[in-house]
Every structure is written in C-alpha cells, then in structure tokens.
Structure 1
Amino acid sequence: MNELNEAFGWLRRAMWLGIGLIALWAVVWVVRYLRASPMERISIRQAIRIRWGWKRLAQMCRLSVTDKMPTPLASLANTDGTPPKPRVLVPALKVTPDAFGVMAWANCLPKVGLAEFQKAAPYLADAWRMTRVSALPGDRPGQVLLRGVRVDPLIVPTVHVPTGRPPEEYAKWDLGVDEFGMPVVVPLREVPGMAVGGLPGFGKTSCVNRLVCDWAPSPAVQFVFFDGKVSHAYEGDYSDLAQRAFAFCGDDLEQANKLLKELVQLRRARSASIRSVLGVKNMWHVGPSADWPLIVVVIDEAHTYFRDHKGSDPATRKLAAFAADNARLTEDLVKKGRSVGFLTVLTTQKTTGDAIPTFIRDVCPVGLSFAQKTADAAVAALGDDIREWPDASPVNLQDPAYVGVAVMSQHGRPGFVRIRTPYVADEDAARIAEQTAHLTQHPARLLENLTGRPVVDLTKPDPEPPAKAA
C-alpha cells in the first residue's frame, strides 16, 4: 500500500511539473506576443496557422511521399496477416515569424527537394496569404529555406542609424534587405571598383553614405571624395562627411586631374614598396591597417570628370584634354589598385560609355542600379543579362514608392535581386564624421613614415595635360 501511495505521489508531482512547464511556456508566449509590434503579431498568428495546416497543405501541393515499406514496429503489431497501410511522409517544418512575414525551414524527402519547393512556392504564397514565397537552399544539406513576405519590403522605407563603432569585418557592404526581407551583404575584398547608376533623387548618394558612415570609425579606412555636383567641400551631399576625407574635389576638372595624379603616384609608390613593408604582394593577404589603410575613392557624378567636350576653341579643348586624362588616371586606379588597397566607387545617372568609359566600367565587378528610364541604361549598368529578367529591370523602379530601391546581380546565383537600401539622415552622417575626424590621415604621409621616402609632392604644380588633337 505504501508503495502504491508513493507511486501516486510521484505521478502527482510529475503532473504538476508538467502543468507548471505548460503554464511557463504560455506566459512566455503571451509576453512575447504582447511585446511584439502590430506587424509582428500578424506574422505570429500566420505562423500558427501555417504549422497547424502544414500536413494537409503539403499533400495538396505534392510536397509529400508515400512510404509503402512498413516500419519494424508496424510489422510486429500486424497479427492478422493483412499488409500495413502505406505511410504518407510530410517534410518537417519549423516556422519563425518576423515583421515582414515568416521564415520556414523544411527537411527534404526523397523526390521532394529544392526544385519541388520552388515549383510549389506560388501555391504556398496563396495558401499562406503572402505577397510572395521564395525557396532557397537551407543552412545545411537536405534543408530548404522558405521565405514568405506578407508586406513587400521594397515599398517600406527604412532608416539606418550608424552606430559609430568600427566594422567587425573589413570590406563588407551591408546594402539593405531584398524583396523577401533578407539582408543583402556584398563582400568587397579584392574588388577594385564599383559602378552605381540611377536617376537623380532615387538613392545613389544615400547608399554610398551608408558605406562611408559604417566604415568611417575604422582608422584602417581612408576616404577621398570627388563630387561633380558642387564646387566646394561645404556644398552638396558630402559636405557633412568632408572632414572624414583626406582630400576633396569639386567639379573643377583641372583640380580633379591634379588629385587623380596624386592618387596614381600613391598607387605606384605602394606597388613599389608593398613587399618590403607588408611582406606580401597583395594587401588583402594581411588586410588593411591604420598604417596601410584601404583607400576608398568616391567619384560622384562621374560623368562630370570624363565627359568628352566638343568644340575647337582653346577652353573647350583644354577641358576635353583634362577629361581624357582623368579617364586614363581613373583606369589606372581601378585596374592596378586592387592589390595595394584601392577601392574606387563611381556613381552617375546613366552608366553608359559617355558617362563612365567602358574601359573603366567593364572592369568594375560590382554594378548597382537604381531607377532608370530606358532599357539601354539598365543594360549599361547591369549587363545584357538584365534583358532576360524583365521583372527585375530598374526601369520598373521609377515610381516614387521605389526611391531607395536598387537592382544588382545575385552573388553566386543567376539572376538579379532588388534591394531596399536605407536612408541615412544628414545629422547622423555629420555626427559620425565629427566623431571620426581625428582618424583622418593622408595615406601618402603614412607610407612616407613607413618607408622614409617621399611619396607624393603635394606642393609641386602639375604640368598642363597634353593637348587633344583637333
């Protein structure tokens, strides 16, 4: 009798423990639900419906398989000699909600893999009440990631507030989120140049500003700005960031030519001394440092510096000569500067050959385009392949709702991805520049300290460019 009472006592304690755990789980779930934003609450309810209806929906979408082989337990339980009923296997699904929709990880089954999930994605979007559903490879083999978005991330403006902390990883560009709400990160290691195009006012400068603000807290990155829209550093979009740059140039072609020559001299000096200073032939083998920083050359409104000026009068011929020489010098930085730590960012409205010469544009591995007016402009920015992906064309981004939305080729996969880039407020850019202004160093002076030899004579006047033939 005592043993029976003791057994009932253990049973009661186990029951109350189970009830306590269920109550604790319920409290945690309710608190999480109440603390969520209104958009996240909708996604939480959607995630619950997806879990409850998954087994039935998977069979309707042909995401299940029939297993006619009985399990050992079913074979032992079969005493009347009739064959066991076949089992219907459904991929296991784990669902996580967020503000845009849900993310679901599904395990693959024989004959139910990534291709089958991609084929069923439109039907899942309808059943889950989503704008779109994508199927991508999961984190491990045999797994598929299903991303469903209820609200189109491309039409939801976002804001980026720079933290003021140095980046955890050099040469990584956090662009924003794609049309499925997934973060888009572009690796810029070993990248010599980038070309960014798009109509005025659609987000080119803000996109570059985020890059500058995120990298500015690091002494291992130094900046130089060319802004073809203004004449002085206190004007225009980069006025708030000018104090973080070791040099600035406005729309004067002669001044731009002088500064580009200094940068090419620095590039040559780095090439001549990199092995003796760093012990390697490629700076990226050891990474940038405060003594040998990555030099980010931002050339905004690049057509200002490269446009071919037509005319036979002396003033026009002089401008044409400077423009041709500027293109030659920029080509030197892009083609030869990668291994010694130069990254050139060119932005313009149309990345056609008359704005950015093709011998420069075509060696920039990263191409990004905001809204464009014509298909030819989209092809110039993204290549001929964009013709085969008309839904992703930047020509479709001319609506004001798509200000800040860009298109680029998918890294490591065919096709193109549309990205919502965040807005960076002017006051945040000014705050970061002011906090990091003390980190600004001229890379030529840093190299002189390392080698003990003069690198760039900043006081010597440059000779006139060669006259352009009539």
Structure 2
Amino acid sequence: MNTAVPGLGAATIPPPLLYAGGALALVLLAWLLVICGRYLSADKGTRASIRQAWRIRRTWPRLARNLGLVTTDRTPTFLQSLTASGNGTGGKPEPRILTPGLSTKVDRYGVVVTVKTVAKVGLAEFQKHADHLADAWACTRVSINPDRPGTLRIRAVRDEPLLIPYTCTPEGKPPADLSVWDLGLDEYALATVLRMDNVPGVCVAGLPGYGKTSLISKLIAALAPSDAVQFAVADGKVSEAHEGDYADVTDRLFAFVGDDLEAANKLFTRLVNLRRARSSAIRRVLGTPNMWAKGPSKAWPLVVLVIDEAHTYFRDYKGSDPTTKKYAALTADNARLIEDLVKKGRSVGMVVIVATQKPTGDAIPTFIRDVCPVSLSFAQKTTESAVAALGEDIRNWPDANPVTMQDPGYVGVATMARQGHEGFTRVRIPYVDPADTARVAADTAPLTADPGLLLDLLTCPHLLKGDDLDTTA
C-alpha cells in the first residue's frame, strides 16, 4: 500500500522509504540529544572548548587556504580522466585543492586537533604557522607535534593551565609502573611524567616556598603504597624527625636524619655499603647486572634517598679551628659518598633526589649536580641559578626560564628538560593536602623495611636459585 503525499497529486512514497526516513530521523534525534547532553553536563571550561572545537572545524577549509596549508593536485583522478574523454573535448580537468582533514577532542583547557597531512603540507609547514593558528583559534598557545605516521597532533590551549592551581588526592593504590613517575600538567594541559628507570639522580631547585618539598611529598605519597619502594630522608632544615615537612611521613621512612652532619654521614655511609653489597650480589640473586631489566620488587626495592636543603651537608667550611676542620671533613666525605650513589647506584636500583634553593657549585658539588640526568627548577631570581639548575641550554629557551616565574601565580610550577626531546617545558605540580599524605604514610607504614636487611635475607645460604624473591623476603 502506497501513501499519497499532500500537494503532490498522484505521487506516492513507498512505505519502506517512509520507514527508512523515520529511522534516520530517530537516529539524528538521538545523536542531537547525546551532543546536547554532553554539552549541558560538561563544566564551564569544557563547554567553551566544545564551542571552540566547532568553530575550528567550521572555519578550517577557509583558514587552511588563507595560510597556504593546502596543496594543488594537478594529476586527474581516474574518474576525471574518463569524464574528460567522454566529453570529447580533450581538455584537462580542473586541478583539485587538497585540504588536510582534521578531527577534534576537547577538555576544560582547550582542544586537541588531529590533522591528516597532505603532500607538501606537513609538520614544518604547520609549525611555521603556529602563531597564526593560535590567533585564529583564540588560543593562548598552540603546540604541534607528530602523532601517528601521516598525522599531526595540535594542542590548542585556550586558558593558561600553569596559572590554574589544582589539587590531587592520593588514592593509596600502588602505581602500575614504578619506572614512570607522574608529575602534573604541562603548559598545554597534557599529563607529564618522569621516566625514572635507569635514573640515579634528580636535582630539584627553586626559591623557598615555590614547591620543592611539595613535589617530593607528592612523589612519596604516590609511591608509598608500593612495597617495592623504600625511602630515606636527610632534611637539612630540621634537627628531629617530628619537625618540618617530613614529620607526617616518618612512619614510611626506613631512615631519617636532620641537620646533624655526623648522623647524615653515617646514613650516607650505610647506603653506599648497601650499594656495594647490591653490586656484588645482583648477578647471583637477580640473574642480571641491571635491576631495571626485571623492575623493583618487595625483596629488592627501589631505594629513594631524599636530601632536602642539600647545601647543609655539602657546605665547604673554611677555618683552622678543630670544630671547623671536623665539619669540613664531614661535608667533604658526604659529597664523596653521594657522588658514589649517583654515579653507581643506577643499575642496582638506587636513586638520589637532591633539593636545594640555589644549585650552584657552593651548594651542590658540580661532580654531583652535573651527573644527575633529571633536573627541575621552580622559580629562580638569577639567570646564574637557572643555568646551574638546568644547564646552559636554558638560555636558548627564554619562555621556559624559571627566572620569569617569580610571580606568586607560578608557585607550584617547575621547568624541566623534555625527556627524549630538545628544549624545556613547564609543569604545574598539583597540590597534595598534607593530611592526605599523612594518611597514606600511616596506612602504608607496615610496608616499611630496611633494604639492607632484605638483601641479607636474599643472600642467605639457604636461598636457592629460582626461589621467589618476594616470598623469600
């Protein structure tokens, strides 16, 4: 039975077409409802990003032509060739203008644009027009990097992520991968991590109150739920464990010393002896010369030594009186011991985090500072301090120089070298409430163990080849 359509006289539409049209209308309606639902349920920033993404897609063909991000294809397709020969004119078909296709993904800070490149329009051409894209899309900045083969990833940031503080609540769960440490969000609001496998030393610098200790506390809170990590702290700001910034995590530390140089020297000597013992036993126990080939375990944990206000332990004392000579000998020996750990601790699973305000040679000996593969710096007052923390190359990246981050809005923002890439990036470190850090430390206190005693268990005569290390421990 056919259905007559008013106004069309005898014209009729078969029922199957009516059903298909109705189904299509329902699908479109459902799609619109989903889009509207996502928009209405999003926060204010994400809704602005949704509108921004729509404008980017709508205006892209015209913008691409204006910026020259298109290519002219003068080779006719097979269909065009057939059409031209069929006309009998023998004329060439009009050349085609090829525009890179794109898709978008939004978040509260902006839009991620994935672009499919075309001939002669690739990474270099897009990077050349990064500032023009930022202006056209009303963005603070635009980052352009290669993605999959034949595609580019454009990060368009509308708001300044570095100036938006945010908090992080530790879940109290062991991290899935101990070789990767989460830091925070970079200046494009992208998650930033530190690759820590085979890294023996980290240097953290910056003015007081700008985030050094907060960063370290965040790392402890994140790693504490794992029984494959053990911590020791030397805090040069205090004398006793119940004082200062690490008072809330002492239950999760297998060792702590304050500003007592003799106590610090004993701890550093203890850890160097552990390093030597591990180096001697690693092939026999783990069957490999590098712990990272298997990863940390409960029996052979990653040992993290934090040295806060490091200049306390390395100061070059001058004087001829007995007390000064004693202090000078202790600080010189401290430097020797930490140099041993930083230069030789990588393969046996030991990492030293050295934190100080101004990492010049008088605060951290250069033979320690310069062999730390990873460096981060919060705000600095002088270029000399920035260079000491990050190296001479920071002079070539003025936008990332920590000297420009002395404004209070940059508290909690650090500059670091981009691992695996040239240049530097700035990272907003999330704030972790000390109460949450204390909670995690208290909950995970039973996981605390002396790595020296664990090694003794592993090297006992009864340990047979092939025994489960975690069970043995």
TM class by shorter chain equals: over 0.9
2:458 aligned partner, one-letter code? L
Q: Secondary structure at the match of 1:251?
A: coil
Aligned to 1:397: 405
From 119, 122, 125, give the equivalent of 1:110. Answer: 119
> Is 1:363 equivalent to 2:374 in the alignment?
no
2:81 aligned partner, one-letter code? S
Aligned to 1:374: 382
> Is 1:34 equivalent to 2:43 in the alignment?
no
Aligned to 1:132: 141
From 313, 318, 326, give the equivalent of 1:318. Answer: 326
Aligned to 2:468: none
In structure 1, how many angstroms separate the alpha carbons of the residues matched to 2:272 and 2:160? 45
In structure 1, how many angstroms separate the alpha carbons of the residues matched to 2:443 and 2:173? 10
> Is 1:12 equivalent to 2:21 in the alignment?
no
In structure 2, how many angstroms separate the alpha carbons of the residues matched to 1:395 and 1:2? 79
Alpha-carbon offset, residue 192 of structure 1? 0.6
From 271, 290, 295, give the equivalent of 2:298. Answer: 290
> Is 1:422 equivalent to 2:423 in the alignment?
no
Greater Cα shift, 382-391 or 37-46:
382-391
In structure 2, how many angstroms separate the alpha carbons of the residues matched to 1:46 and 1:287? 44
In structure 1, how many angstroms separate the alpha carbons of the residues matched to 2:310 and 2:338? 10
> Is 1:61 equivalent to 2:70 in the alignment?
no
> Is 1:154 equivalent to 2:162 in the alignment?
yes
In structure 1, how many angstroms separate the alpha carbons of the residues matched to 2:271 and 2:421? 35
Greater Cα shift, 66-75 or 155-164:
66-75
**Identity of counterpart residues, as a percentage?**
56
Alpha-carbon offset, residue 2 of structure 1? 8.0
> Is 1:280 equivalent to 2:273 in the alignment?
no
Q: Secondary structure at the match of 1:259?
A: helix
Alpha-carbon offset, residue 84 of structure 1? 2.1
**1:107-256, aligned counterparts within 5 Å?**
107-138=116-147, 140-256=148-264
* TM-score normalized with structure 2 length: 0.93
2:23 aligned partner, one-letter code? L
In structure 1, how many angstroms separate the alpha carbons of the residues matched to 2:268 and 2:422? 36
Aligned to 1:257: 265
> Is 1:92 equivalent to 2:101 in the alignment?
yes
Give the aligned CA root-mean-square deviation in angstroms: 1.7
Show structure 1 runs of 4+ deviating over 6 A: 1-7
In structure 1, how many angstroms separate the alpha carbons of the residues matched to 2:109 and 2:298? 40
Q: 1:323 to 1:70 in 2, by over 3 A?
A: same
Alpha-carbon offset, residue 413 of structure 1? 1.5
1:419 aligned partner, one-letter code? V
In structure 2, how many angstroms separate the alpha carbons of the residues matched to 1:157 and 1:442? 37
Unaligned runs of 5+ in 1: 454-470
> Is 1:101 equivalent to 2:106 in the alignment?
no
* TM-score normalized with structure 1 length: 0.94
In structure 1, how many angstroms separate the alpha carbons of the residues matched to 2:344 and 2:38? 54
Q: Deviations over 1:95-115 (max 9, x none)?
A: 111111100000111110000
2:378 aligned partner, one-letter code? F
In structure 2, how many angstroms separate the alpha carbons of the residues matched to 1:411 and 1:281? 25
Alpha-carbon offset, residue 87 of structure 1? 1.2
In structure 2, how many angstroms separate the alpha carbons of the residues matched to 1:442 and 1:333? 17
From 33, 38, 43, give the equivalent of 2:49. Answer: 43
In structure 2, how many angstroms separate the alpha carbons of the residues matched to 1:134 and 1:297? 36
In structure 2, how many angstroms separate the alpha carbons of the residues matched to 1:276 and 1:14? 72
